[in-house]
Amino acid sequence: MISRRSFLASAAAASAAMPLPAFAATQTSTKLPKKFRPQVVKVSKEYPAGEIHVLTDDHFLFWTLGDGKAMRYGIAVGAPGRNFKGVAEIRRKAEWPSWTPTASMIAAEPQVYAKWRNGLPGGHEKNPLGARALYLYQGNRDTLYRIHGTPQPWTIGRSFSSGCIRLQNAHVEELYEHVPLGTRVVVY
């Protein structure tokens, strides 16, 4: 069983970035601190290629490349107590997805979410899903958590949302192209 601690230990060399392979690592969005910019980092060779590992406390998402390497992205996550933790699978992907707040989001913060109860179309400037969304499932059950873009790129490195994992739009577009349906996602 992979733990957050073992993943952190294997990614300890993450600050020693390596040259990028076939990733564009676009930097055209809001300027991020260097540590949150996409970069290839070393991880333990025990992590197979093609998995996503999310360290919510550290605000990083890792797409494992195999051979002890991973692409690391800076992320924004949910406010304390609002994050998904566990193992899931990507069962759906969408470009410019529409968005509707959940009933629990509306109940918890009606002043923020009630006005959007009928949803927002993809591409709307207020749609929090941004350019792409990867939908997390456990079995046949939609967890209602997503890995997605954000129209608020300055939030990368922060914990404030309703719980989804957010990347800059350019970065989620890049990740979206590499991640197939059925990808295993581990959120620590």
| Active site members | 148, 164
Q: How many CB atoms lie within 10 A of CB 119?
A: 11
Q: Which of 151, 145, 154 is nearest to 169 (CA)?
A: 151
Pairing of strands 52-55, 184-187: parallel
C-alpha–C-alpha distance, residues 48 and 174, integer Å: 20
Q: Which H/E stretch holds residue 7? A: helix 4-10
Calculate the alpha carbon distances from 147 to 44, 105, 183, 188 in Å: 23, 17, 12, 14
Q: Which residue is listed with tokens 């564009």?
A: 24
70 DSSP β-pair partners: 41, 64
Report whether 41 contacts 17 (CB < 8 A). yes
Non-local (6+) Cβ contacts of 139 within 8 A are none
